[in-house]
Amino acid sequence: METQFRPYGMVATLSTTDSSAIVLTDTAGSALKCNFISVEASGENPDAFFRVGMDANSQATPAANYVATSASIGSTSGVIGGYASVNKGVVEFLLADGDRPSTIHLQLDEAGACNFFINYGQIQHGSGLRDNNRPNGN
């Protein structure tokens, strides 16, 4: 089996500590349920960190019930998602079919202009036999 990937990308800008819902869309603008999501951030606060949460189908606690990112330090309860440092880290998800979200939630722990680079899509298994039917160029 071989792995195939249809990648999409977008950039989101945040400057507050409010959680922001980002809908992952295809080229037609329709919500796309993704099993691969990668988020990296570049911002003006070098000591800041960010959280990426998601609305997965199997999720028991909706992202709306998460504590603020700044309040999660020392928290005794985990959240579905991941954390990374602004300018230094990446949050990446490779998810099961039952967990494919089409919306993620971004949140900074401290205010300041920040760009989020979001790469996402669907990774699936391909067929080596089908590859023989594709044009291979001249």
Q: What is the CATH number of the domain that holds 64?
A: 2.60.120
Q: What does the pLDDT read at residue 13? A: 96
Residue with tokens 């067929």, as numbered in its chain: 127
Which region holds residue 121: left if phi is over 0, alpha if psi is between -120 and 50, else beta?
Answer: left
Which contiguous run of DSSP H or E holds residue 131?
A: helix 128-131
**137 belongs to a structural domain:** no
pLDDT band at 46 (very low <50, low <70, confident <90, very high): confident
Full domain range(s) for residue 37: 2-124
The total number of structural domains that make up the chain: 1
Question: Residue 106: inside a domain, yes or no?
Answer: yes
pLDDT at 91 over 50: yes
Our CA angle for 56, 57, 60, nearest 5°, is 80
Mean pLDDT across 40-66? 78
DSSP-based three-state secondary structure for 31? strand
Q: Is residue 134 part of a domain?
A: no
- Residue 137 pLDDT: 46
Residue 83 pairs with which residues in a beta bridge? 51
Specify the higher pLDDT residue, 61 or 6: 6
Q: What is the pLDDT of residue 138?
A: 38
Is residue 45 in a domain?
A: yes
- Does residue 101 belong to any structural domain of this protein? yes
In a domain, 25, yes or no: yes
95 lies in a domain? yes
In a domain, 138, yes or no: no
Phi, psi of 4 (to 5 degrees): -125, 150
Kindly report the pTM of this predicted structure.
0.80
